[in-house]
Amino acid sequence: MRTTLTIDDDIAVLVEQEQRRSGDSFKGTVNTLLRLGLTADRNPQPRKRFVVKPRKMGLPPGLSYDSIPDLLEAIEGPYHK
């Protein structure tokens, strides 16, 4: 089928980028992109919810939050300044 189509400038740039990437002709690129868009699943399956399971980390023995300079020195070494 042959037809005339007016494409917005921003879409034309994206199609040309895809054309250069794929090495296909402009016509082939437009057909591929239209096919992908028209056959895409309109109702995607909901994704399984990602749940973070917290756990207590604590500080290594002998360290506390009472002396931040001591904590920094223990973690980063004597040249942390």
Residue 15 in this model has a pLDDT that exceeds 90: yes
What's the mean pLDDT when you consider all of the chain?
87
For tokens 């296909």, the residue is: 24
Q: What's the mean pLDDT in 15-37?
A: 95
26-39 vs 9-22: helix axis angle to the nearest 10?
Answer: 110
Please tell me the predicted confidence (pLDDT) of residue 78.
75
Both structure tokens of 38: 């028209």
Q: Kindly give, in sequence order, each residue whose CB lies less than 8 Å from that of residue 25, ignoring residues fewer than 6 positions away.
A: 19
Both structure tokens of 14: 């994206």
Tens-digit pLDDT profile for residues 27-57? 999 999 999 999 988 878 888 999 999 988 7
Q: What's the mean pLDDT in 46-72?
A: 83
| 8 alpha-carbon distance from chain centroid | 26
Both structure tokens of 80: 């942390």
Both structure tokens of 32: 């591929």
